């Protein structure tokens, strides 16, 4: 299988054993890996923010927001907004703000005076958005437009996190110039938000992606969902007919740094250098954590009986990402190894 070959290739060719005592150990196909060089795990990218600057991260209690808050907390003033799950990250000032309350949002922004706003807060439950279109609009669209407007007034850079599921998934390998065709209410809201952000703040960066990593709750990403089930000895159903090109939260953060550094504006697809099925992704993760592989079961999207329609191939063309990064985009196997090799920062 191509992915296993990728893992074997990475393991055989790139490993530099450094500081093995301090590093975690992971297993891929029974090979003990101890581990990567610091540069491979944490590439040196000059972070274009400084101590004097203030970054506001909305959705800082979520999967992406928490990882970005950790990423920026040591180099800038970092403020993290949350709604119901408090943020407990060293050197991050946490504020409980409901983004649908525009008055509170405006007052807090006035106080914070951010140089950069990374807008990660959203209602991400696709089924919930299908059933609650008005509430979903208030959170995912109206609040996004309001924040984008405020970013212009404050002279702050604005980064909006959209989704790879703006596409219908019939072709795959979508580039920034492909016309989105959303299949469900959540994705349609993201398409409208992208247009609103681009109109209100033409200097904004609009990122489409699918990412994975550890989160404060331990249950927000597909990687965690697979691990929680597998480590509890439960079956792990994996879609064999749903493809994507997910990016690790660490590679996502590096790409944001590069995009800011290069003054990128407009759409930017963030993914990995290869596409794979969700079944194969679960296989990679379970192998990496030495799980019982017999728990992994192939299923199809139709078997799952979901209410909201799901695109079948949301893989992204990452040519622009490579050009913004100035280097090749990591593969999924490389991204998973980067997550597995680090400790879980939220434990």
Ligand X SMILES: NC(=O)c1ccc[n+]([C@@H]2O[C@H](COP(=O)([O-])OP(=O)(O)OC[C@H]3O[C@@H](n4cnc5c(N)ncnc54)[C@H](OP(=O)(O)O)[C@@H]3O)[C@@H](O)[C@H]2O)c1
Are 40 and 10 a contacting pair, CB within 8 Å?
no
Is position 8 an interface residue for ligand X (rule: CB under 6 A)?
A: no
- Coil, helix or strand at residue 57: strand
For β-strands 26-28 and 31-33, DSSP reports them as antiparallel
Is position 62 an interface residue for ligand X (rule: CB under 6 A)?
A: yes
Is position 64 an interface residue for ligand X (rule: CB under 6 A)?
A: yes
Interface of this chain with ligand X, residues 317 to 346, rule: CB under 6 A:
none
Which residues, 6+ apart, have CB-to-CB distance to 101 below 8 Å?
A: none
Is position 65 an interface residue for ligand X (rule: CB under 6 A)?
A: yes
Q: How far is CA 212 from CA 63, 147, 226, 253, 302, in A?
A: 8, 25, 11, 12, 24
Return the range that interacts with ligand X (CB under 6 A); candidates 57-65, 150-158, 262-270, 277-285. 57-65
Q: Considering the complex, state which of residue 249 and residue 288 has its C-beta at the smaller distance from ligand X.
A: 249
| CA–CA gap between residue 139 and residue 144 (Å, rounded) | 7
Interface of this chain with ligand X, residues 204 to 223, rule: CB under 6 A:
209-211, 215, 220
Which residues, 6+ apart, have CB-to-CB distance to 237 below 8 Å?
A: 297, 298, 299, 303, 304
**Minimum distance from residue 236 beta carbon to ligand X (Å):** 18
**Minimum distance from residue 95 beta carbon to ligand X (Å):** 10
| CA–CA gap between residue 220 and residue 245 (Å, rounded) | 18
Task: Show the tokens assigned to 22.
Answer: 């301090």
Q: Considering the complex, state which of residue 35 and residue 164 has its C-beta at the smaller distance from ligand X.
A: 164
Is position 282 an interface residue for ligand X (rule: CB under 6 A)?
A: no
Return the range that interacts with ligand X (CB under 6 A); candidates 94-102, 290-298, 299-307, 322-330. 94-102
Is position 161 an interface residue for ligand X (rule: CB under 6 A)?
A: yes
Binding site for ligand X (CB under 6 A): 59, 61-65, 82-85, 97-100, 120-124, 139, 161, 163-164, 209-211, 215, 220
């Amino acid at each position: 299988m191509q992915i296993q070959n990728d893992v074997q290739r990475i393991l055989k060719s790139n490993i530099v054993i450094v500081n093995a005592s301090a590093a975690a150990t992971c297993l891929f196909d029974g090979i003990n890996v101890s581990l990567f060089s610091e540069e491979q795990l944490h590439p040196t990218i000059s972070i274009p923010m400084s101590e004097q600057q203030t970054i506001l991260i909305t959705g800082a209690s979520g999967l992406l927001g928490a990882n970005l808050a950790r990423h920026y907390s040591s180099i800038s003033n970092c403020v993290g907004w949350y709604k119901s799950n408090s943020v407990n990250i060293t050197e991050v000032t946490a504020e409980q703000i409901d983004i649908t309350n525009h008055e509170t949002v405006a007052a807090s922004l006035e106080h914070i005076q951010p140089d950069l706003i990374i807008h990660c807060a959203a209602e991400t439950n696709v089924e919930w958005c299908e059933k609650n279109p008005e509430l979903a609009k208030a959170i995912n669209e109206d609040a996004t437009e309001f924040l984008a407007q405020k970013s212009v007034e404050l002279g702050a850079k604005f980064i909006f996190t959209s989704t790879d599921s703006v596409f219908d998934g019939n072709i795959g390998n979508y580039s920034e110039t492909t016309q989105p065709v959303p299949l469900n209410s959540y994705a349609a809201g993201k398409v409208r938000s992208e247009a609103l952000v681009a109109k209100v703040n033409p200097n904004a960066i609009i990122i489409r992606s699918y990412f994975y990593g550890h989160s404060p709750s331990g249950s927000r990403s597909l990687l965690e969902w697979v691990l929680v089930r597998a480590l509890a000895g439960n079956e792990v159903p994996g879609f064999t007919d749903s493809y994507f090109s997910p990016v690790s939260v660490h590679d996502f953060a590096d790409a944001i740094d590069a995009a800011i550094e290069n003054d990128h504006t407009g759409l930017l697809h963030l993914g990995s250098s290869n596409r794979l099925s969700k079944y194969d992704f679960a296989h990679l993760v379970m192998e990496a954590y030495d799980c019982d592989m017999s728990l992994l079961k192939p299923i199809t999207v139709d078997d799952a009986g979901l209410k909201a329609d799901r695109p079948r191939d949301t893989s992204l063309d990452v040519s622009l990402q490579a050009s913004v990064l100035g280097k090749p985009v990591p593969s999924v196997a490389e991204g998973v190894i980067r997550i597995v090799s680090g400790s879980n920062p939220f434990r």
